[in-house]
Chain A
Amino acid sequence: MKVDHNIEPILKIKDLKKSFGENHVLNSYNMELFDGENLVVMGKSGSGKSVMIKCIVGLIQPDSGSIEIMGKDIMKLDHSELDFLRTEIGFLFQGSALYDSMTVRENLEFPLRIHNDSPEKKEELVLDALESVGLRHTLDLMPSELSGGMKRRIALARAIILQPKVIIYDEPTTGLDPITAKEIIELMREIQLKQGSSSLIITHDVDCARVISNRMILLIDGINYAEGTFKELSSLKDKKIQAFFK
C-alpha cells in the first residue's frame, strides 16, 4: 500500500513524557501515523508500549507532550468531545478485555450505545462485525465459553464495529498458537482493506511485524529509537536493534 507522507498525519505524538514515580517510562516519544498505513511499534516487555497507546485514547494522563488525532489535541478536549473522538478509534486490548458478564451480542452492542440506532440497525452491525471475523454462530455465547483465539476475534469485532478510522492493536497475537496468530493477522489485513483504516500495531512478534508493517518504530529507553521499514531496520548493525530480529 502506498502511503502519502506529505499530507497531515491522522495521529501525531510529540515529545510524550510519562513517569510512574521514579520509573521514567516514556522520555520524549515521537510518532506519526498516516492515513491507510500499518505502523508497527516494537519494544521489550515493560518498555512502555501499552502506556503509550493508553495515553493516545486518554486512559492515562501523560506528564507532558501533545497528542493530536485528526487535528484535535486530545488533552484540550472535554469529556463528551473525547468520547466522540474515541468512536473513531478501535482498541484491541492485550487480554481481549471482553465483558464477561455479557454475551457476545451484548459485548458487540456495547460500543453502539453512544449512537441511538434502531434495534434492527444494531443487529445488522453486530452480525456484520461477527461475520467479518467468521464467528457468527457465537452470538449468544458467554465469553467464558470461548477459546482464547475466539475471544481475540470477538474483541477484534468489537473494536471495529463502529468502523473506526484508526485501529490500535495491543499485541494481537500474543498468547496464541502460530496458526491462530496467522489467522488473526490475516483478519487484520482483511479488515484494513475493507474499511480503509490506519492501524497502529504493538507487537513482540517478528513474523507479525514482517507480514503486516508498512513502517516500524522501535521503542527503546522511552524514545522512538529507530524508524524505518522492516527491511531497513533488520539490516541495521546496532546491537539493541539486532536483538529484536534474532
Chain B
Amino acid sequence: MTNTFKITSNIKNFFIEIGELSYFAGHFFKEAFSRPFEFKELLRQCYKMGNRSLLLVGVTGFILGLVFTLQSRPTLADLGVESWIPSMVSISIVREIGPVIIALICAGRISSGIGAELGSMRVTEQIDAMEVSGTNPFKYLVVTRIMATTLMVPLLIIFGDTIALFGSALVEYLKSDVSFLLYFNKVFNALKFTDIIPATIKTFFFGFAIGLVGSYKGYNCKKGTVGVGEASNTAVVYTSMLIFIIDFIAVFVFDIFFEI
C-alpha cells in the first residue's frame, strides 16, 4: 500500500517537475525577447563556458576518435575494407557519437556548474539582492546563461568532432600509413550535408537543455547547502536524460524529413 503510494507520488512529482520546467522555459522566451538585453553578461558567460570546457572537450574528443578507430579496425580489416574507416568513423562521430558524448560532458561541466552557481546565489540571497537593486535577476542570470549554452555547446561539439577526426586520422597514419590529407579527403567525400545539418541542428537543442535545466534547478534551489548540492546533482541527471530524449526525437524527426 505505502509502496504503491510512493510510486504514484513519485510519478506525480515527475510530471509536476516537467510542468514547472516548461513554465520556466516559457518565462525564458518571454524575457529573452524583451528589452533591455544583457549583451555584456552574455558575452562574459559565452567566454567563461567556452574557456572552461575547451580542454575537456578537446581531450575527450581526441580519445574518442582514437579509441573508436582502434576498436573498429580489426573487424573491418578482417573484411578487407580498412579503406572504409575514414568514412565510417566520420559519419558515426559527426552524426551521433560526437554530439551525444560531448553534450554529456557539457552536462557534467556546464549544467552542474550553473546549478551550483545559481543555487548558492539563491541560498545566500544574492538573487534577492539583485532584484532589490532594480535589476531583473531572471534576465541577468538565467536568460544570459541559457543563451550562452545554446550558442556555445554547438561550437564545442564542432570543435570536439574535429579533434576526434584528428585522433582517428592519427591512428590511421600510424597503423597503415594513410596520410592526413588522404584521410580527410575521404572524410569530406563521405560526409554529406544531410549528415552535418541535422546533427548540428540538434546540438542547439542540447545546448538549450543544458542551460535550461541547470538554471531551473539553481534558480529554484531550496534553502541550505544541501539544496545547492542537490541542485547541481539533479541538474546533471536531468540534463543527461533530456539529451538522450532530444537525440531520440531528433533522429526520429530527421528520419522523416531527410530519409537518413
Cβ-defined partner of B126 (8 Å) among A57, A100, A114: A100
Please report the C-alpha to C-alpha distance between residue A86 and residue B136 in the assembled complex, in whole angstroms: 12
Asked if A226 CB lies within 8 Å of chain B CBs, one says: no
With a CB–CB cut-off of 8 A, which chain B residues contact A110?
Answer: 130, 133, 135
Q: Which chain B residues lie closer than 8 Å to A54 at the CB level? A: 128
- Contact between B129 and A91 (Cβ–Cβ < 8 Å)? yes
Q: How far is the CB of A101 from chain B (nearest CB, A)?
A: 7
B119 to chain A, nearest CB (A): 13
Distance in Å: Cβ of B159 to nearest Cβ of chain A: 25
What's the minimum C-beta distance from A170 to chain B, rounded to whole angstroms? 9
Q: Is the CB of B134 within 8 A of A95?
A: no
Candidates A84, A97, A111, A113; contact of B128 at CB < 8 Å: A97
Instruction: Kindly identify, within residues 70 to 86 of chain A, every residue whose CB is under 8 Å from any CB belonging to chain B.
Output: 79, 83-84, 86
Least distance between B86 CB and chain A CB atoms (Å): 44
- Say yes or no: A86 contacts B126, CB within 8 Å: no
Q: A interface, how many residues as a size bin?
A: 20 to 34
Nearest CB to that of A94 among chain B residues? B125
| B7 within 8 Å of A (CB atoms) | no
Q: Please, how many angstroms separate the alpha-carbon atoms of A142 and B130 in the complex?
A: 17
Instruction: Give the distance in Å from the alpha carbon of A110 to the alpha carbon of B120 in the complex.
Output: 19
Which residues from chain B contact A114 at a C-beta distance below 8 Å?
133-135
Contacts A95-B124, A97-B124, A101-B117 hold; do A86 and B129 have CB atoms under 8 A apart?
A: no
Whether a CB of chain A sits under 8 angstroms from the CB of B132 is yes
A220 interface residue (CB < 8 Å to B): no
User: With a CB–CB cut-off of 8 A, which chain B residues contact A95?
Assistant: 124-125
Distance of A224 from chain B, by nearest CB (Å): 24
The A132-158 residues at the B interface (CB cut-off 8 A) are: 158
Contact A89 B126 (CB under 8 A): no
Q: How far is the CB of B121 from chain A (nearest CB, A)?
A: 8
Q: Which residues on the A side are within 8 Å of B134 (C-beta)?
A: 83-84, 86-87, 111, 113-114
Contact of A93 among B117, B120, B125 (CB under 8 A): B125
Chain A residues in 8 Å Cβ range of B130: 99, 110
B128 partner residues in chain A, CB cutoff 8 A: 54, 59, 93, 97
Closest residue to A110 on the B side, CB-wise? Answer: B133
Chain B residue with minimal CB distance to A83? B134
Chain B residues near A86: list those with CB within 8 A: 132-134
Q: Which of A59, A84, A99, A100 contacts B132 (CB 8 A)?
A: A59
Question: What CA separation (Å) do A89 and B128 show in the bound complex?
Answer: 14
State in angstroms the CA–CA spacing of A24 and B62 once bound together: 59
Cβ of A91 and Cβ of B132 under 8 Å apart? Answer: yes
Whether a CB of chain A sits under 8 angstroms from the CB of B131 is yes
Which residues of B are found within 8 Å of A97, using beta-carbon distances? 124-126, 128-129
The answer to whether B129 touches A99, judged by C-beta atoms less than 8 angstroms apart, is yes
Contacts of B136 in A (CB 8 A): 79
Q: How far is the CA of A99 from the CA of B129 in the complex (A)?
A: 9
Cβ < 8 Å to B, chain A residues 38-57: 54, 57
In this complex, what residue of B is CB-closest to A82? B134
A104 within 8 Å of B (CB atoms): no
User: Which residues from 89 to 140 on chain B have a C-beta closer than 8 Å to any C-beta of chain A?
Assistant: 117, 120-121, 124-126, 128-136
In the complex formed, the residue of A with least CB distance to B120 is A100
Inter-subunit contact B133/A111 (CB<8 Å): yes
A122 to chain B, nearest CB (A): 14
Are B125 and A57 touching (Cβ within 8 A)?
no
Give the CA-CA distance A110 to B133 in the complex, in Å: 8
A55 to B252, CA, bound (A): 49
**A113 cross-chain contacts in B, Cβ below 8 A:** 133-135
Instruction: Give the Cβ gap from B48 to chain A, nearest Cβ, in Å.
Output: 9
A98 within 8 A of B: yes
Could you tell me the distance between the alpha carbons of A100 and B135 in the complex, rounded to whole angstroms? Answer: 17
Judge whether B132 and A89 touch: CB under 8 Å. yes
Chain B positions within 8 Å of A93 at CB level? 125, 128-129
Closest 3 CB pairs of A and B: A111-B133, A83-B134, A114-B134
Would you mind naming 6 contact pairs between A and B with Cβ atoms under 8 Å apart?
A57-B132, A89-B132, A91-B129, A93-B129, A111-B133, A158-B133
